[in-house]
Amino acid sequence: MSGHDHDHDGPNRRKVLECMTWAGTGVLWTITGGVPRSLGIIDSAMAADAPGMTFLQISDSHVGFDKPANPNALGTLEEAVNRINAMPAKPSFMIHTGDITHLSKAAEFDNAERIISQTKLDVHYVPGEHDFIDEEVKLYRERYGRGTKGHGWYSFDAGGVHFVGLVNVVDLKAGGLGNLGAEQLAWLEDDLRGKSKSTPVVLFAHIPLWTVYPQWGWGTEDGGRALELVKGFGSVTVLNGHIHQVMQKVEGNVTFHTARSTAFPQPAPGSAPSPGPMKVEDAKLRSMLGVASVNFKQNEQRLAIIDTPLQG
């Protein structure tokens, strides 16, 4: 990130982003009494020492992408998988926050599966808009839709945490942002009913559920409705992809976090004419791609999130 044009942004944009944290290297976050505190740069070995449940997030692998920003997106996905396999302690499972493929081609889904399955981890997927563009819109659902509701939403419990995978890339309205829709929100309300408010909740979806930058469509029209539904819970973590860069924000009991892509970086909000793939020097690319590791310790309110780039 360091080479990026932040210096040209001036104070206005800095003010807009004041509650967001940009992480260029692996940073372990811990939050005590509602105040986020960075423990500094760490490596994956330290993360492995942390007791409790650890799971991984990967995102935006865009298998099939071959443009100048990264001519070999499958290769960098494989590098991410190799890093995961080299972790000293095996994570409990992995979530993938969408855009598995670039064009929803069968071969792209096959290649993604071939590489990701090498982690030998259970992977919980949600779709990105790039996973629903095959003619019949069936390839994602055939592979990952089993046991899900609607366009592919579902929930599960692991390590005392309630996980909810949401779909906000369907039925988008002209001029609007990501969309959950009334049916999904009704399901979410029902899904959370009866859960103890002390249960930590993780919501994950492709497009950020919070409004990052509406000019580029980086937000979810009715994301606020979903956040209303988790308001009473003591610990809520929202994990998203789509914007191909790390952003983090804490609001009350809710921690928002977006993961890097394993394929190509995208520019910081407003820093380029469009949110399209950002071409960086070859030597810098891998410092802008990566995976995230999330650690949950019993009796601690917050989940610690560590973003690890593929390199640097």
Partner 1 sequence: MKTLNRRDFGVAVVAAILLPVTTARAEGDMEVHIDNFVFEPAELKIKVGTTVTWTNRDDIPHTIVSAGKFRSKTLDTDDKFSFTFTNAGDYKYFCSLHPHMTGMIKVE
Q: Is 174 in the site for partner 1 (CB under 8 A)?
A: yes
Q: Is 247 in the site for partner 1 (CB under 8 A)?
A: no
Q: Which is nearer to partner 1, 86 or 174 (CB)?
A: 174
Bridge-based pairing state of the strands 247-251 and 254-258? antiparallel
**In the range 186-245, which residues lie near partner 1 by CB under 8 A?**
214-217
Q: Is 22 in the site for partner 1 (CB under 8 A)?
A: no
Binds partner 1 by CB under 8 A, chosen from 68, 147, 194, 252: 68
Q: Is 277 in the site for partner 1 (CB under 8 A)?
A: yes
Q: Is 71 in the site for partner 1 (CB under 8 A)?
A: no
Q: Is 136 in the site for partner 1 (CB under 8 A)?
A: no
Residues 6 or more apart whose Cβ sits within 8 Å of residue 266? 243, 244, 245, 275, 276, 277, 278
**In the range 249-268, which residues lie near partner 1 by CB under 8 A?**
none
Q: Is 63 in the site for partner 1 (CB under 8 A)?
A: no
Query: Residue 299 CB, nearest distance to partner 1 (Å)?
Result: 43
Binds partner 1 by CB under 8 A, chosen from 20, 31, 133, 185: 133
CA–CA distances in Å: residue 46 to residues 39, 145, 217, 224, 306: 11, 35, 36, 35, 10
Residues in a beta bridge with 55: 294
Query: Residue 199 CB, nearest distance to partner 1 (Å)?
Result: 34
Residue 41 token pair: 């740069």
Find the largest Cα–Cα distance for the chain.
Answer: 51
From 71-79, 97-105, 139-147, 154-162, span contacting partner 1 (CB under 8 A) = 97-105
DSSP 181-235: -HHHHHHHHHHHTT--TTS-EEEE-SS-SS-SBGGGTBSBTTHHHHHHHTTT-S-
169, amino acid identity? V
| 3-class secondary-structure state, position 66 | coil
Binds partner 1 by CB under 8 A, chosen from 47, 81, 161, 177: 177
Asked whether 66 and 72 are in contact (CB, 8 A), the reply is yes
Asked whether 20 and 301 are in contact (CB, 8 A), the reply is no
From 17-25, 65-73, 190-198, 292-300, span contacting partner 1 (CB under 8 A) = 65-73
From 139-147, 193-201, 269-277, 304-312, span contacting partner 1 (CB under 8 A) = 269-277
Helix (H) or strand (E) holding 141: helix 139-144
Binds partner 1 by CB under 8 A, chosen from 4, 83, 124, 130: 130
Q: Is 135 in the site for partner 1 (CB under 8 A)?
A: yes
d(CA 287, CA 87): 18
Interface with partner 1 (CB under 8 A): 67-69, 102-104, 129-130, 133, 135, 172-177, 214-217, 273-277
